[in-house]
Amino acid sequence: MTYYFAKYKFESSISHSSNTVRVIDVVVRLWHRVMFICCLQSFYVEKFGPGIVEIVKDSNDVEREKLDPNKV
């Protein structure tokens, strides 16, 4: 009985670690995406000037009629 409890405890520990790794992976991917968008935005702000650049942070299709023609 102790063996099975120890085995269960060990498997539970592996499962918990696996879930932790998945959560960390998701967090790192989101952080990387945010940092990429921020670096990209700062590059274009430097190139075109402040107030001219607007990054669309949405994965949906862009509605061209809603875009500001005065911004890049």
Q: Tens of pLDDT along 29-58?
A: 888 888 887 788 888 888 888 888 877 777
Domain range summary for the chain, segments of one domain joined by +: 2-66
Angle at 49 between CA 62 and CA 60, to 5 degrees: 10
> Can you list the alpha helix ranges (DSSP code H) found in 1-72?
2-48
Amino acid at 37: I
Distance CA(50)–CA(70), nearest Å, equals 12
Grouping H, G, I as helix, E, B as strand and the rest as coil, residue 69 is coil
CA-CA-CA-CA dihedral for 15, 21, 24, 30, to nearest 10: -110
Q: Is the pTM of this model over 0.95?
A: no
